Amino acid sequence: MNRKKCEQVFLAAMIAVAAVKCGGSHEEVQQPVDQVLSLESIEPSGSSIVFWYQHTQKREESMLELIDVFNQTNAYGIHVRGEYAGRYGDIYNKMMVGLQGGELPNLVVAYQNQAVAYNMGEGLIDLEPYMESSKWGISIEERSDFIESFLKQDFIDGKQLCFPPNRSLELLYYNVDWLNQLGEKNTPTTWEDFARLCRLAKSQPFHKAVDPNQSKGYLFEPEASRLATMVFTRGGDFMDPTQTVYTLNTPEMVNSLTMVKQLIKEGAADLLSEPYEDQTEFALGQNLFMIRSSSGLPFVESAIKDAPTQFAWDVALPPQDGHSAVLNAYGASVSVCRSTPEKQLAAWLFIKWFTEPEQQARWVKASNYFPVRRSTENQLAGYMAENPRYGKAYGFIDYGKSEPAVPGYEPVRRRIEEVMVEVAQGGEIAPIVRRLEQDANKILDEFRL
């Protein structure tokens, strides 16, 4: 079943969902944990739980190693079984289907808007009582160690619907040598300056470029998070402050799309034609700038090392036109599915353990994500020295701003990406963004039935 169909089925069935079967269990859940017995009296010993994640290759290996450490060392004999459940979209589809009577995991990776959808189907629990539990929770001192903005991203409609295991930031990647060749000492501080340098890069190819005829300032990826970065850094947003209505027909949105459209028209930028093409072109010295996730740092470094030409490169804050520095901070969190009191507590205890500084440091080194606890930095001095760009980007974590955490943001993202392509191909911006805002709010209304 494709995602769109799954969403439609879910909307129709959501009201009828009265119980959820989780982690392979067929026990019906009729009441929240706190109505059955207090958290302090629950005994999680011997519980077995299932964790659905999206990680592959090195990250999956590290995740499974960490899970194994937890299984062998936790004092309650809790056993976590990690399962690769596909990419984010695959997991979303499986969860939507599972909420209608199928089987769900006990712990699932979820973006905030996805967690909202699962919660509408009564499939998740509020983690706040677990966090505040005198026996199982985190202390005031421990809570103050968490990066508050990351926790707030997951606190939605008065509930802690998920919990952050890591985060990433949207960064500006740039070719230092090429910038110097253009007579520039600093990265662009405004979007006007960014556009100027893109045009300059078109007319003055990098002297080490593999193919100077392919010289461009930037490759525009039709991905909602890329556009969010441009809008956020201009002082705009995708929704109003209360997250009750989409605000996509704004000066910040129009200015972002106008800049990209004009740069493409002039040949100073182009539309991405295949996945990670911007990374490839950047490594070949044919792209001055790239806007991508901080988690991609190792992949960019590897691509440049394998390229026929070598050059100095670095990362910086994206250009800023707003009143204060901001960048797009995102990352999937983990949510606990509604099941039995024992399994729910067991899932929380794994989350609590995973976000302790020692485990966070190990996860950072395997994933290149940012930790969610500040004290983890004390264990990362060597890693940051070996990876100075990571250390530089880590200094930006307090500037983070998140995309909408509302039901239906998945299809809205797809509409945004369709609009990005339409504009890049020469579409008239004013009617396009007007229609986009109308479509987005219609989707929002449908999901809030």
Interatomic CA distance for residues 8 and 16, integer angstroms = 14
My answer on whether 107 and 202 are in the same domain is no
Interatomic CA distance for residues 49 and 129, integer angstroms = 20
Q: What is this structure's pTM?
A: 0.90
My answer on whether 113 and 224 are in the same domain is no
Share the mean pLDDT of the chain.
92
Tell me the CATH number at 72: 3.40.190.10
Q: In terms of residue numbers, what domain contains 68?
A: 3-167+331-401
pLDDT beyond 60 at 337: yes
My answer on whether 213 and 86 are in the same domain is no
My answer on whether 22 and 98 are in the same domain is yes
**How many domains is the chain partitioned into structurally?**
2
37: confidence class by pLDDT, cuts 50, 70, 90 = low
My answer on whether 356 and 266 are in the same domain is no
Q: What average pLDDT does this structure show over 416-436?
A: 98
My answer on whether 311 and 198 are in the same domain is yes
| C-alpha closest to that of 346 among 42, 6, 34, 2 | 42
AA letter at 316: A
| C-alpha closest to that of 172 among 323, 313, 368 | 313
Q: What average pLDDT does this structure show over 37-47?
A: 92
My answer on whether 295 and 221 are in the same domain is yes
- The region that residue 57 occupies, defined by phi over 0 for left and psi between -120 and 50 for alpha, beta otherwise, is left
Structure-token match 């009143």, residue found: 323
Interatomic CA distance for residues 96 and 102, integer angstroms = 9
| C-alpha closest to that of 161 among 407, 10, 336 | 336
Please give the share of the chain, as a percent, with pLDDT higher than 70: 92
My answer on whether 178 and 315 are in the same domain is yes
348-377 confidence digits (pLDDT tens): 999 999 999 999 999 999 999 999 999 999
My answer on whether 247 and 222 are in the same domain is yes
My answer on whether 356 and 366 are in the same domain is yes
220-277 confidence digits (pLDDT tens): 999 999 999 999 999 999 999 999 999 999 999 999 999 999 999 999 999 999 999 9
**What's residue 246's pLDDT?**
99
